[in-house]
Structure 1
């Protein structure tokens, strides 16, 4: 692991877990960092985004994100985000996947997290030095529920070639950009076919698919900030609100209006 990502310790006193409960404080980490602890981000409302060394990752409302110990990331908690951020001591983490994962927040997992949230937090409540047998069983049940509640992550992989990185950063900064594939090919000095082949090789997606995900990522952020569906559609460059609603529904299985509730 590169030296610029030193392994930091979030739990200082040896307790098995540390919990930040709702409402979550809006914040943005500017640089990648690693923790020795694993992290569960349970989002009841709003959205949390994470920058990994391989791309951007989104945890929308009614989902749970898992960051294993030692994974470099930079998190952004957007305004109005509600839920829990739970840091787990490394010896507890083998219960969970070894790669970043997104799960659906079900009624059972939400109830379990509410119970776990009273075990200890940053507000001064005492947390046991070790988990009791019933607490271990509750974590086991939570893990079993997560295993049967996988969700398709909204992941925006970044290319590695500098000219393609510049192109994708431009698109992220302005998702409404309407430059065509031919326009971008000319800008980066490649043929249409060459751009298509290299972009897919480096990201695993076509440029069109990548732009849709970039737009959906921004849509989640804007909706969580309270923007109307009409305004979000306009800011993302959609020709009509109905087109935006269809694209959002295809990605998330619900309309943007339902998500914003």
Structure 2
């Protein structure tokens, strides 16, 4: 499987799609860039933080990201994967992207979507061997349309002063600075912050901070920190409250998440039995 190279054309030989393995090491980043192809990305190992058009989202193993054609985006790999393979990219010609979301998004793909990608990984050169390959791709696109959006997505506000607040929260999500203090710092009323922040991000400030905490917590767990240390560092009242929220939002406990990749269907069964 050829390694991805962001400096060369992704579709060759008249093919309308190509699957490429991505190899990276912890801390490696891709600077903000764009390309005319749509990009589906399946995370396999490590933890990937993606930023695109004012959105910051986290991709743990098993999640799938979607970047529409020409959308600017960048990414950073966190954690210590067991090998340098961190995921698979599927680049799509623009004419294949019409059914997929217009904005970047992280999704929870179905077991069928995972199985279809496993089939694609076996294709020589990462391209369909014949027209039946494109029929497999059509089914994958249908599955992506039905997939649920991942909850750990942060949209940055447009207002410059609200951006300043959001950036500070993302950097230090355990900081409990309240809205009255932020209003003083930013020169805005509490009501203006509340109204404009929700209108521009789709979340309240409390919900945004909660998601930022979980993103940061997932990064720390992936880097080897203990569940207790992560909960205390992020300012949770108790370890149990952190575990309960993490499980509700991500579908697995922090301990299960920290152990690394697992098939999503198996994870649900294991967590239900726990």
TM-score in terms of structure 2 length: 0.80
* Residue aligning to 1:98: 102
* Residue aligning to 1:56: 56
What is the root-mean-square deviation of aligned Cα atoms in Å? 2.4
Distance 1:196 1:22 in 2: 41
Map 1:45-84 → 2, pairs under 5 A: 45-80=45-80, 82-84=86-88
Distance 1:140 1:180 in 2: 48
Distance 2:38 2:50 in 1: 14
Match of 1:197 among 178, 195, 198: 195
Distance 1:92 1:234 in 2: 46
Shift of 1:37: 1.2
CA contact (8 A) 2:78 2:219 kept: yes
CA contact (8 A) 1:9 1:37 kept: no
Name the SS of the counterpart of 1:83 in structure 2.
strand
CA contact (8 A) 1:11 1:89 kept: no
Shift of 1:111: 2.0
* Residue aligning to 1:85: 89
Shift of 1:67: 0.9
Shift of 1:163: 1.7
* Residue-pair matches, total: 247
Shift of 1:25: 4.3
* Residue aligning to 2:34: 34
Match of 1:164 among 151, 162, 181: 162
TM-score in terms of structure 1 length: 0.83
Distance 2:222 2:249 in 1: 17
Name the SS of the counterpart of 2:65 in structure 1.
strand
CA gap of 1:74–1:134, structure 2 versus 1, over 3 A, is: same
CA contact (8 A) 2:57 2:106 kept: no
Distance 1:9 1:37 in 2: 12
CA contact (8 A) 2:52 2:104 kept: no
Match of 2:252 among 247, 251, 254: 254
1:171-230 alpha-carbon deviations (Å, 9 max, x no partner): 111111121222212211223223222322322221111101111111222222222211
Shift of 1:116: 0.7
CA contact (8 A) 2:42 2:65 kept: yes
Structure 2, unpaired ranges of 5+: 1-6, 260-274
Distance 1:143 1:164 in 2: 36
Shift of 1:23: 5.4
CA contact (8 A) 2:18 2:92 kept: yes
